A and B are shown apart, each in its own frame.
Chain A
Amino acid sequence: KQEVTQIPAALSVPEGENLVLNCSFTDSAIYNLQWFRQDPGKGLTSLLLIQSSQREQTSGRLNASLDKSSGRSTLYIAASQPGDSATYLCAVNSNEKLTFGTGTRLTIIP
């Protein structure tokens, strides 16, 4: 059974800093891994998708890495902004099912 863990559960950083969010998973037999952001009371916005054969993906200030053999992924956010404040969710796709971590609640302090 796939299990996904995200550390830390909450993080507060001053505006402008770079930061890293961590995700680990127990079963390396995955199709892909997605990072999402969720704003309070809202749906999920897909940020990045990394296929199982890929090592990293980049979109603007976001960079996600995947080390399938060790069961780890990181989301790097450069030059953080107050608008980045949200909950960030890591989800692993195994057999067409997404298994989610419980998220990292990020607060960017202006």
Chain B
Amino acid sequence: NAGVMQNPRHLVRRRGQEARLRCSPMKGHSHVYWYRQLPEEGLKFMVYLQKENIIDESGMPKERFSAEFPKEGPSILRIQQVVRGDSAAYFCASSATRGTNTEAFFGQGTRLTVV
């Protein structure tokens, strides 16, 4: 059973371009979470999705950022018109359940560099 798969592992974008980060959850997991780790800072929650639904996007910047988890295929975190401040490691996690039994499993992350 493969773990949480994220790709690409490293992504370089010029200012103003779009970045698309992909996350395939563990088999059987229908809950996906995105976190961002800025340089020298802790991980911060961005968004929580279930299949075809955004459950909690309270950590998402109001502009340029969007996320989806379609019925088929991976979850996508999309950043439009990237700026240098978007450079960070973006981690995806998945879980099989909600509530007290929720154990989150993380992918290896996508390291985005904006030049």
Contact = CB atoms under 8 A, between A and B. Distances in A.
B106 A44 contact: yes
A53 B100 CA distance: 9
A42 B104 contact: no
Interface of A: 31-32, 34, 36, 41-46, 49, 51-53, 89, 91, 93, 95-103
Interface in B60-115: 91, 93, 98-109, 111
Contacts of A99: 45
Contacts, number: 67
9 contacts: A32-B100, A36-B106, A42-B109, A91-B43, A93-B104, A96-B102, A98-B45, A101-B42, A102-B41
B42 A42 contact: no
**Considering residues A43, A89, A99, which has the most beta carbons from chain B within 10 angstroms of its beta carbon?**
A43
Given A49-B103, A96-B98, A43 B91 contact: yes
A interface secondary structure, majority: strand
A96 B103 CA distance: 10
Contacts of B109: 42-43
B55 interface: yes
B33 to A, nearest CB: 7
Given A98-B33, A102-B41, A46 B105 contact: yes
A103 B103 contact: no
B102 A32 contact: yes
Contacts of A96: 31, 33, 48, 55-56, 98, 102
Contacts of B98: 96
Interface in B5-43: 31, 33, 35, 41-43
B41 to A, nearest CB: 7
Given A96-B56, A102-B41, A103-B42, A43 B99 contact: no
